[in-house]
A = this chain, B = another copy of it.
């Protein structure tokens, strides 16, 4: 049995409590959170978000990639968000490898050559937040009046600390 089947069963209980209600497509707080896929970070409860409050964007590392920019432009231009929070975290999987070692591993495991591809690892989590905030600030596609903040989430304590 796959976990997917378990999720479908659990979801039926969730839907029974959810009831039927139509919330607007546009997020109430006009905020988009850019963060990591990590399993130990549940964004909505950690930030106090209710259903309908904010867009939540997640990839490996919470990095500002071209696809993140695509998503943020849609978030802002189609759905009215005006603030971005870049939230990275302690003990991140993106801190566990280098591009070179990872490419060797992929070659060995999958027989695929990904040499030269940047998988966006980092070593210093505050620096990675600052680097991604800088990409957003420099992007022509993100208006200058959008509020951009950054923070690090501690997966052991649940505490979020601002990065300036």
Contact = CB atoms under 8 A, between A and B. Distances in A.
A5 to B, nearest CB: 8
Contacts of A120: 70
Nearest to A118: B70
A59 to B, nearest CB: 5
B56 A58 contact: yes
A37 B32 contact: yes
A135 to B, nearest CB: 13
A125 interface: no
A77 interface: yes
B78 A96 contact: yes
B110 A156 contact: no
Interface string A94-117: 101100001001100111101001
Given A18-B158, A45-B14, A157-B18, A78 B102 contact: yes
Given A51-B39, A70-B60, A110-B140, A162 B77 contact: no
A157 B79 contact: no
B83 A2 contact: yes
B44 A42 contact: yes
Given A18-B158, A97-B78, A39 B10 contact: no
Contact of A23 (B40, B110, B112): B40
